Amino acid sequence: MSDVTVVPVERRVFIDKQSPTAYRAQLAAAEASRAVAAEAGLDRRLVELVNLRVSQINGCAYCLHVHTRAALREGETAQRLGVLPAWRDTELFTARERAALALAEATTTPSDAALQQAAYGVARETLTEEEISAVIWVAIAINAFNRVSIMSKHPVRPAPGE
């Protein structure tokens, strides 16, 4: 049990709006990571799976909302999205996707050295060096956006008609 008292916050500072220069730099970094992923041959569905898995670990509702829609637009299935938190326990993901997801998780939880070592070992067996680099950069970018949205408390509202 934590000794931290939770104080309700009426409205948080949307740091992306408050500091647009820093936010634009973060957008540029994310665009660069997507370009690196495309150059390495990672399809957009795999990039969105990485974005979603990292956002699940970080508990970022806004990024989960954005990237679920993006994954569905790219042709991802509801079944695979539904089991993504338990991807290791299914046969729904390819060896390449599994290696990328493990590497993304290790990038998100770098203090777990054993997880990091195991994930990197699998990645080395399955992915090229370019793909490894791309997955790590995508994971770094979405981790940063997760923190922006979590700390700003970006709202997730129902879409019209839902």
Is the pLDDT confidence value at 10 over 90?
no
161 pLDDT tier (thresholds 50, 70, 90) = confident
CA–CA distances in Å: residue 130 to residues 38, 77, 92: 10, 27, 24
Is the pLDDT confidence value at 1 over 60?
no
The pLDDT value recorded for residue 8 is 62
Every domain of the chain and the residues it spans? 17-152
32-36, 71-75, 137-141, 157-161: which has the minimum mean pLDDT? 157-161
159 pLDDT tier (thresholds 50, 70, 90) = confident
Q: Please state, in angstroms and rounded to a whole number, the distance separating the CA atoms of residues 26 and 59.
A: 20
Q: Which residue has the higher pLDDT, 109 or 161?
A: 109
Conformational region of residue 41, where left means phi above 0, alpha means psi within -120 to 50, and beta covers everything else: left
The whole-model pTM stands at 0.90
What CATH architecture does domain 17-152 belong to? Up-down Bundle (1.20)
Tens digit of each residue's pLDDT (9 = 90 or more) over 70-87: 999 999 999 999 999 999
CA–CA distances in Å: residue 43 to residues 75, 76, 84, 131, 134: 11, 11, 17, 11, 11
